[in-house]
Amino acid sequence: MDESVILHAERSFLVCRKPVGVECEHELPALLAEEMKCKADSLYCIHRLDRAVGGVMVWARTPKAAAELSRQVQEKALKKAYFAVCSGIPTPDTGEMRDLLFKDSVKQKSFAVSSSRRGVKEALLDYHVLQDAVLNGSPAALVRVTLHTGRFHQIRCQFASRGHPLLGDGKYGSRVKGAIALQSCGLQFLHPETGKPMAFTLPLPEGAFWKPFEG
């Protein structure tokens, strides 16, 4: 590997930077195991990122740590933050998005729906517009998102349903070509052994969609 994917490693867990284009079930554990000189089946997946999305993740290295970190996910003690670049500028510039989402397993896509039924789950996130710019002649905004639920394609669907698809996300209506402008940029959780608060952050990624917001 040309660049390390490991950001932090201890006996019970590790924190990594998932590259864009790598899936979480087989490819990422293989990358981590190669760098850690361990077996891929000794790593426990706590949460996932879409193949098209990169960024910071935590993996457990023992069954006990996996159980503790999974408990934090269930109890919303593990906090996840993202950078996104969306079409248009959301208003107000700080707020929450609360929706009912239905996952269509055939189309591998989520839809915002108006009423609850089988397969529908509530989705909640907070967002804050950090900067705005003009990209390809159209307004766009750099947004920091904090997830409170972890639904399938949640950020992509919720922003698109309000007319602000993420740049490069053709599946949810973006007409702009390129990699999806979404990155997992922050994780906060409690150390699975000591309970100490842990926090990890990443800067803006490289790429055309992010350049107007650098510096």
Closest among 13, 50, 74 to 183, alpha carbons compared: 50
CB atoms within 10 A of CB 170: 12
Catalytic site includes residue 50: yes
- Give me the half-sphere count of Cα atoms (radius 13 Å) on the Cβ side of residue 77: 15
Exactly one of 2, 41, 50, 132 is catalytic; which is it?
50
CB atoms within 10 A of CB 138: 12
DSSP string, 25-55: TTHHHHHHHHHHTS-GGG-EE-S---TT-EE
Residues 147 and 155 sit within 8 Å (Cβ to Cβ): yes
- Residues marked active site are found at 50
